[in-house]
């Protein structure tokens, strides 16, 4: 049987450490917002890089956004 630490990612383990300090609801909301902003910014940077490397125009991006599935 695997130990808990081998099933969880390093991020999950760090978050468990935070929870052990019994943060307030306000702190939890701030942490959630920080994580959301961090990953959103990371995604935007990756998209910007892909757009630049693949010479994708604003018009092409807009047409993709308007495509129906």
List the structure tokens of 54: 């693949």
Count the domains in the chain. Answer: 1
Residue 66 predicted with pLDDT over 60 = yes
Q: For residues 41-49, give the mean pLDDT.
A: 96
Domain that holds residue 39: 4-66
pTM of the full structure: 0.67
DSSP state of 8: S
pLDDT in tens, 51-63: 999 999 989 988 9
| Burial class of 52 by CB neighbour count within 10 A (0 to 12, 13 to 18, 19+) | exposed
Give 5's pLDDT tier (boundaries 50, 70, 90): low
pLDDT of residue 68: 83
């Amino acid at each position: 049987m695997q130990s808990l630490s081998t099933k969880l990612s390093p991020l999950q383990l760090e978050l468990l450490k935070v929870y052990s300090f019994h943060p307030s609801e306000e702190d939890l909301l701030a942490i959630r917002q920080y994580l959301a902003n961090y990953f959103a910014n990371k995604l935007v940077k990756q998209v910007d890089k892909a757009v630049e490397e693949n010479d994708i125009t604003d018009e092409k991006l807009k047409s993709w956004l308007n495509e129906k599935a």
